[in-house]
């Protein structure tokens, strides 16, 4: 049977802190529904404390839905969202932003390791608007990026500032924000740098399916629950989407577990005999590997993906063990 330890951080089980919080939420018995319960309120407070913000917080079941709902809130059907051309919203969400936004477009930008090149952003913003194409209304950023790169705080702030100077809204896909934080990014700067909507990742940071939408621009909070309901994301037992965040944030497990994942990626990178395709800054390792050796690795019992740029991706998670790293490293040395 194939092992999926490094196929994705989604293949890992949920962390005990998250599951214990779910059990506690269940033991609370009867509560109000649709996110109006004490567990959801406490989890929202925990998110606000983490980010040091007074923002609105909502909990949903899917990162794709969270991203699409946010982008639909920032752009009208005849407008577009700018994002890196390999961002999840462009490559892995089956047109969900366009569906939820009733035609909202997506414009891909270039940049090394998933980070948007400021010059490329500048060039698109300098283009004249014409009625035959969708003008940009928002910028979508990803921290950490699809290639495991982490924007320095000042670089992310500069992109936000440039977008804001042109009247664009800003969305931050933080599916792996915990890993970026463990790598040194200060999450408390997100609100002040001008992000309007943040998707704070749950599933990839060690939780069961759940994500938090953080609404920094309170003007966008008006009728946001109606938007969630129409999108099938206003859960009747919403406390079970919120509880894992309460568990992971209560004693710092969110950051601690991410730091472990990052450390396992660094361990794997140091032991890997194949050349790295991208810097290892968070919990992903991307290497150059031909198809024959990838198939040989799968024959050894390990399943991993070839990624968008042709590199082979190894993702570490909160549950990745040093023993598993050493085992796959030995397999890599055998096939190299």
In a domain, 322, yes or no: yes
**pLDDT of 12 higher than 90:** yes
CB atoms within 10 A of CB 266: 17
- Quote the CA–CA distance of 274 and 139 in Å, as a whole number: 35
pLDDT tens across 250-298, in order? 999 999 999 999 999 999 999 999 999 999 999 999 999 999 999 999 9
What order do you get walking across the sheet with 312-315 strand by strand?
Answer: 284-287, 312-315, 305-306
Considering the domain architecture, whether residues 46 and 195 belong to the same structural domain is answered as yes
Of 250, 272, 293, which residue constitutes the final position of a domain? Answer: 250
Q: Is the peptide bond before 89 cis (omega within 30 degrees of 0)?
A: no
Q: Supply angle C-alpha 72, 247, 188, rounded to 5.
A: 55
The pLDDT value given to residue 207: 97
Considering the domain architecture, whether residues 33 and 165 belong to the same structural domain is answered as yes
As a whole number, mean pLDDT of residues 158-185 equals 98
Considering the domain architecture, whether residues 224 and 295 belong to the same structural domain is answered as no
Q: Supply angle C-alpha 145, 63, 89, rounded to 5.
A: 55
DSSP state of 285: E
| DSSP bridge pairs for 212 | 59, 200
**pLDDT of 1 higher than 90:** no
pLDDT tens across 105-164, in order? 999 999 999 999 999 999 999 999 999 999 999 999 999 999 999 999 999 999 999 999
What is the pTM (predicted TM-score) of this model?
0.96
Cβ pair 242, 45 in contact under 8 A: no
- Quote the CA–CA distance of 100 and 114 in Å, as a whole number: 24
Considering the domain architecture, whether residues 305 and 197 belong to the same structural domain is answered as no
Q: Which domain holds residue 241?
A: 16-250
What's the chain's average pLDDT? 97
**pLDDT of 84 higher than 90:** yes
Q: What is the DSSP string of 6-51?
A: TT-TTSSPPPHHHHHHHHHHHHT----STT-SHHHHHHHHHHHHHH
In a domain, 181, yes or no: yes
Considering the domain architecture, whether residues 284 and 234 belong to the same structural domain is answered as no
In a domain, 8, yes or no: no
Residue with tokens 């079970």, as numbered in its chain: 240
Of 206, 235, 250, which residue constitutes the final position of a domain? Answer: 250
Helix (H) or strand (E) holding 310: none
Considering the domain architecture, whether residues 130 and 269 belong to the same structural domain is answered as no
The pLDDT value given to residue 262: 98
Kindly report the CATH number assigned to the domain that includes residue 300: 3.90.1150.10
pLDDT tens across 186-233, in order? 999 999 999 999 999 999 999 999 999 999 999 999 999 999 999 999
In a domain, 1, yes or no: no
In a domain, 7, yes or no: no
Domain count, the chain: 2
């Amino acid at each position: 049977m194939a092992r999926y330890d490094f196929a994705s951080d989604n293949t890992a089980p949920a962390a005990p802190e998250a599951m214990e919080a779910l059990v506690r939420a269940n033991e609370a018995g009867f509560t109000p529904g649709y996110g109006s319960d004490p567990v959801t309120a406490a989890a929202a407070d925990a998110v606000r404390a983490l980010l040091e913000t007074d923002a609105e917080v909502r909990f949903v079941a899917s990162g794709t839905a969270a991203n699409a709902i946010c982008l639909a809130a920032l752009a009208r059907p005849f407008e577009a969202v700018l994002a890196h051309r390999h961002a999840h919203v462009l490559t892995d969400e089956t047109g969900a932003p366009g569906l939820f936004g009733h035609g909202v477009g997506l414009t891909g930008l270039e940049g090394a390791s998933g980070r948007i090149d400021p010059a490329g952003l500048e060039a698109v913003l300098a283009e004249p608007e014409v009625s035959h194409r969708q003008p940009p209304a928002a910028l979508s950023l990803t921290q950490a990026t699809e290639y495991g790169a982490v924007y320095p705080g000042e670089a992310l702030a500069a992109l936000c500032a440039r977008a804001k100077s042109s009247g664009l809204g800003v969305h931050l896909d933080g599916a792996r924000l915990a890993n970026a934080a463990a790598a040194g990014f200060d999450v408390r700067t997100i609100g002040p740098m001008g992000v309007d909507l943040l998707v704070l990742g749950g599933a990839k940071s060690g939780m069961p399916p759940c994500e938090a939408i953080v609404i920094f621009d309170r003007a966008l909070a008006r009728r946001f629950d109606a938007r969630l309901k129409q999108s099938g994301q206003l859960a009747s037992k919403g406390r079970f989407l919120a509880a894992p965040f309460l568990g992971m944030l209560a004693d710092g497990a969110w950051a601690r577990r991410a730091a472990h994942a990052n450390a396992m990626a660094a361990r794997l990178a140091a032991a890997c005999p194949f050349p790295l395709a991208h810097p290892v800054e968070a919990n992903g390792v991307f290497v150059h590997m031909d198809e024959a050796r990838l198939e040989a690795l799968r024959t050894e019992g390990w399943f991993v993906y070839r990624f968008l740029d042709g590199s082979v991706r190894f993702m570490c998670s909160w549950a990745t063990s040093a023993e598993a790293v050493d085992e796959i490293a030995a397999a890599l040395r055998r096939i190299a």
